[in-house]
Structure 1
Amino acid sequence: MYIGKAAQLSGTTIKAIRHYEAIGLLPAPQREGRYRVYSAQSVELLALIKCAQQLGFKLKELQGILHGHEGDALPWERADQAIASKKRELAGQIAGLQQMQAGLMAFEAQLKDAQGQCSGVR
């Protein structure tokens, strides 16, 4: 299939596909004359890249996962390791945000207490 169809089926854009090829994230496709021809595996890889990006993976991280990838089988072990690492990173961010929220709630309570103490003095 041509690049437009691959973009449509994978939910990406033609520009993104060309960029992924340029940075080595997507292997160079076969060609028919001057047209790029993509396989079903290419479309699956494109969909995987898009999904991973939506889940917070950066293209550099995906390059690390897919480095040296050729053929139909994806490097699942590297993907599993990257997912585990991303989950740990996310858990740390969640913990930090929860601490920040608790701090804001305590600060808000202190301000309300201070406001209540000062309201009688006029």
Structure 2
Amino acid sequence: MNIGEAAGASGVSAKMIRHYEAIGLLTAARSANGYRVYNDREVAVLRFIRHARDLGFPLEDVRRLLALWQDRGRASAEVKRLALAHVEALETKAESLRTMAASLRHLAAHCHGDARPDCPILDDLARKE
């Protein structure tokens, strides 16, 4: 199948397929005329990458997970370690986002939101540390 068909079958855009090839996550055969040719194995790899990215795994972790997935002699302990490390990173990021939202909520509560030019939101963004 061509890149458009692989994109449709995997849910990954053609642009991202090219990117994944460029960074070595995926390899595709080339036809005699130089076009990329994909088979079911490459589409399965693309789906795997998409699912991992949908869960927020960074590309280096996707690379590790992909290698583990393709290694039938792998230990599931390594997969679990990567997943739990990612959960911890997500939880840290979620806490950081909650803190940012609370700060902005506080600033917005103190902004008059009227025709006056004074604005604690802008003042806070402009403050020197």
- Could you tell me which amino acid in structure 2 is paired with residue 29 of structure 1? A
Unaligned 5+ residue runs, structure 1?
106-110, 112-122
Q: What TM-score results when the alignment is normalised by the length of structure 1?
A: 0.63
SS at 2:36 equivalent: strand
- Specify the alignment match of 1:55 in structure 2: 55
Shift of 1:6: 0.5
Give me the identity figure in percent: 36
Q: 1:98 to 1:14 in 2, by over 3 A?
A: closer
SS at 1:25 equivalent: coil
- Specify the alignment match of 2:86 in structure 1: 86
Structure 2 Cα separation of the partners of residues 37 and 24 of structure 1: 16
State how many pairs are aligned. 107
Report the RMSD for the aligned CA atoms in angstroms. Answer: 3.3
Structure 2 Cα separation of the partners of residues 13 and 90 of structure 1: 25
Q: 1:102 to 1:69 in 2, by over 3 A?
A: closer
Structure 1 Cα separation of the partners of residues 51 and 84 of structure 2: 16
Q: 1:94 to 1:38 in 2, by over 3 A?
A: same
- Specify the alignment match of 1:39 in structure 2: 39
Range with greater deviation from structure 2 (39-48 or 61-70): 61-70
Shift of 1:58: 1.7
Range with greater deviation from structure 2 (60-69 or 39-48): 60-69
